[in-house]
Structure 1
Amino acid sequence: MSSGDSERTLAMVRTMLDRAHLATTGQIPDAVQEAARTLGWTAVLYLVDHEQRLLLPSPVTGLPPRRPLAVDTTLAGRCFRTMEPTPSPAGVAGVWLPVVDGADRLGVLEVTVPEGPDLDDELFLDRCRMLSHLCGHLVAAKSPYGDGLDHLRRLRSRTVASELLHQALPPLSFACEGLVISCLLQPAYDVAADAFDYGVGDDTAHLMVLDATGHDLEGTILATLALAAYRNNRRNGQGLAESVPVIDRLIAEHGRGERFATGVLAELDLSTGRLRYLNAGHPAPLLMREGRVVKELDEGHRVLFGLGQGEVTLAEEWLQPGDRIVLYTDGVVEARDDGGEFLGQERLEELLQKAAAAGLPAPETLRRIVHDVLARQGGVLQDDATLLIAEWASTREHTFSAVGGVSQHDLSPHDQTGGENGHSLRR
């Protein structure tokens, strides 16, 4: 890289950081565009909606408005699904870049390059990587301070209960050395009493999925209290066994003997693969190995939270590299079609195995399964549906990069043959 190239790259980074320092959340798209302009590029940020069906363009000062793009049938959507850079349609000198914060998929960046993108040019790819990385980090860092970008991602109003719950949840995906965690909870706008949580520290991953009784604000409050108690214990240095009686006591007190919660709590030792878990009246987690569901983790049972502490007996399972643990709530398997037939555990396992055979990463696996569940009930869930996947020692964490190689996998017919929304990626 020449000194001139280095100076232009540094100018792009500096512009982005300086402009974003005092920017409101809604001004981040303008900051991204100003940074891109230092290289002669144009950049427009698209964020995925809360149901992960559409990529919604953010307005940028001085640029014409864009239209929303479907995740499942466009080149922009392919970029989001695969987290790989994707050339723009024929006749457009540009490229789509994934926007992620760590492993959390936020959207895509449409970058127009007058001289045309060269995806074999390391300098070009480095600049794309920096721009999209900074964009993802700034969106995540700034979002808690304002509503501009969240307002863009909403296609309709949320209930108060759903607002409360979503503010308490961690990001949907996380990755570190030896671990990928991905979660998804639906319905996005009126969820009530499901919750999930995770935390990683001291070489241990802490996992929880919870389902409180009731589909109202009271159920949300109960689930949020349990989540807060779990985090508080964890952050105070307490282990899994110590967290259970605290959660049980809180739910018993605030549920007043009328409301309870089921749940699975687990601890995974990242250095050895030892999984310890406890199941309080909840559907048994599934263990996937080499792309297949090989068993239910059906030990470590106790009564529901809120029915009395009971004995805390932890079950244990030793994972192999590449194993996936799948936690879910009953709203997934009890989704009914028009004929009243449940989705069922067998169908869930089929969906998980189909996604594994296609090589899909955990976030995309969950997106497709949840959409299948929603479609089964005509887009309206009768119960909350939550899924959490934890993948150990698969090396897949290294694929969650804002710019990787361009591949041909996972192309929809529209992506592959062109038409209104795309063109062939084959050169």
Structure 2
Amino acid sequence: MRFLPEEEQRRLVAVCFARSDLTLEQLWMRYFALGGSLSLLDLDAYLSGLLTLPRVDRDMVAHAVNERLDEVTGPARAPYSHSVQDAKPLHGPLKALVDLLEGAHCAPPERLPAVVAEAGRALDLTIGVYLADYDQRTLVPLGPGAAVLDIESTVGGDVFRRAETVTRDGTLWTVLLDGVERLGVLEIVPAGDADPDDPALREQCRWLASLLGHLVTITTQYGDGLDRRRRHRRRGSPAELLWQNLPPMTAATESVVVGVSVQPAYDLCGTAFDYALSEERAQLAMFDAGPRTRGANTAVVTALAAYRAARHGGASLSEQFAAVGAELDGRPAIGGVLAELDLATGVLHLLAAGQPTPLVVRRGEALPVTGPTAPRFGSAGEPPPVTRFRLEPGDLLALCSRGVAETADGAGEPFGRTRLTGHLGRDAGELPPEIARRLTRAVLAHGCGEFRQDAGVLIARWISR
């Protein structure tokens, strides 16, 4: 950034002051209100060219004059010490950030890789963008010439699974996030002899990945260019309806992390989930229509809408339960779980209807949260008493659809509760979205890719404040 010569700034400020209709005392009062500490005599001496001032004081005087000019006819404004034409950064990390923002402002989704490449050049980096497909099996490159990466067996996949940053063979890999949701990874190659382990470079790449993650999510909402790259095949219309009504697969606050996975991604039919996180509590829900019937998706979307309407209106857990049941009256009955977690105390309240018992994973051991249950939503009857359970810091809460345990292999053997609890206990140290992903992948493999019911898993980890 270039700065205006001090004497030239003083001369122009004095000219603008003469046009402002302010007395010297009035100008000094405005300058003093902005935090200035010079005396009235010092200000007079500066405007007369008899005294030099630090740049911060010169700019406060200019701002005091400009405040007055804004109140009157608005003649030419007093200049600040830096030149206005250089307000946009010319090089370095800030230039890359500005270029990325400006380039994506009106760009269609498919132009995002070119915008990212331009930002990379400003940082002397070559940047490759990979997005996770909707099955979360592979990482799909956005640029030409790059190969698809397997999530289970590649460096990029390992970075995605662990949501971290690593260096391999002079290349820096970092997870691509929208907030806390994993979207993919960035492959970053520094130019020349730059050190990919340099802490400053790693920090620049971290905020670049965070900004890019937001841009990927935003641009996906108004175009299909990025969405098509993440699809391996066409979604059915029931799955399209459900996906359009689901929240992000990951969310977090300082006190709780939520991760979700649902399969089959392209043929989702009868499972929906929802959550709402605040300072005080986490509200969680899962709805499950069971066998994949023609009206299953309509039933769970109806239940989801009824639940959200009641929750938005401040209804209690029992009132939310009743609202869903009333909305489904006369429609096919479905199962589900509604839960509220007090984030200050760890006290969990839940209501279940025709659904497997939720599990709490504590120090690698899965504990069922037992309590009274109701028939499925849409059946006659009052809500059951609320079940109360106290979590410990670090505990996982798992809500699973019936399809997780009931999915059978070719010989007819279901995945079962034992396998379910074994997977949860073994993976309890992973991130909640990764725990959910691994469990649904295991169910998919057990069922040989065939589902009579959806497999949905919602994992919430409570972190004591």
- Scaled by the length of structure 1, the TM-score of the pair is 0.85
Aligned length: 377
Residue 119 of structure 1, CA deviation: 4.7
Q: Is this contact kept in 1: 2:435–2:459, CA < 8 A?
A: no
Distance 1:274 1:129 in 2: 35
Partner of 1:52: 136
- Following TM superposition, by how much is the alpha carbon of 1:388 offset from its aligned partner in structure 2, in angstroms? 0.4
Aligned to 1:287: 360
Name structure 2 gaps, 5 residues minimum: 1-88
Deviations 1:21-47 (A, max 9, x none): 112222222222211110111112110
Q: Aligned to 1:221, which of 293, 298, 301?
A: 298
Letter in 1 for 2:422: E
2:161 and 2:312 mapped to 1: Cα distance?
34
SS of residue in 2 equivalent to 1:381 = coil
1:62-111 CA distances to partner (integer Å, 9 max, x unpaired)? xx4211111111111111111112224x4xx4211110112211001111
Q: How does 1:306-345 map to 2 (within 5 A)?
A: 306-345=378-417
Percent identical among aligned pairs is 38
Q: Deviations over 1:137-164 (max 9, x none)?
A: 1112222111111111100111000000
Q: Name the counterpart of 1:184.
A: 261
Q: Does 1:85 align with 2:165?
A: yes
Greater relative CO (CA pairs within 8 A, separation 6+) = 1
Matches of 2:438 and 2:267, distance apart in 1: 20
User: Cα offset for 1:117?
Assistant: 5.6
Q: CA RMSD in A?
A: 1.7
The equivalent of 1:236 in structure 2 is 313
Q: Is the 8 A contact 1:337 1:377 kept in 2?
A: yes
Aligned to 1:129: 206
Paired with 2:320 and 2:194, the residues of 1 have a C-alpha distance of 52
Residue 139 of structure 2 contacts residue 150 of structure 2 at CA under 8 Å; is this kept in 1? Answer: yes
* Separation of aligned partners in 1, 2:464 and 2:243: 29
2:228 partner letter: H
Match of 2:454 in 1: 384
2:157 corresponds to 1:95: no
Q: Distance in 2 between matches of 1:73 and 1:113?
A: 24
* Residues 26-425 of structure 1 mapped to structure 2, 5 A cutoff: 26-59=110-143, 64-88=144-168, 90=169, 93-115=170-192, 118-253=195-330, 255=331, 259-293=332-366, 295-356=367-428, 359-393=429-463
How far the C-alpha of 1:278 sits from its partner, in A, is 0.2
Give the deviation of 1:339 after TM superposition.
2.0
Q: Does structure 2 conserve the Cα–Cα contact (< 8 Å) formed by 1:76 and 1:86?
A: no
| Runs of 4 or more above 4 Å deviation | none
1:368 CA drift (Å):
1.4
Deviation of the 1:394 alpha carbon = 6.2
Deviation for aligned residue 1:202: 4.6
Deviates more, 1:130-139 or 1:237-246: 237-246
Give the secondary structure class of the aligned counterpart of 1:228. Answer: helix
Q: 1:119 to 1:271 in 2, by over 3 A?
A: farther
**CA offset at residue 301 of structure 1?**
1.4
**TM-score normalised per structure 2:** 0.78
For residue 301 of structure 1, give the secondary structure of its aligned residue in structure 2.
Answer: coil
Larger Rg: 2
Q: Is the 8 A contact 1:13 1:130 kept in 2?
A: no
What is residue 18 of structure 2 aligned with on the other side? Answer: none
Distance 2:111 2:385 in 1: 51
Inter-partner Cα distance in structure 1 for 2:374 and 2:90: 60
Shift of 1:213: 4.7
Q: What is the alpha-carbon distance in structure 2 between the residues aligned to residue 282 and residue 51 of structure 1? A: 25
Determine the C-alpha separation between the residues in 2 that align with 1:374 and 1:116: 45
Q: Deviations over 1:2-32 (max 9, x none)?
A: xxx9951110111111111112222222222
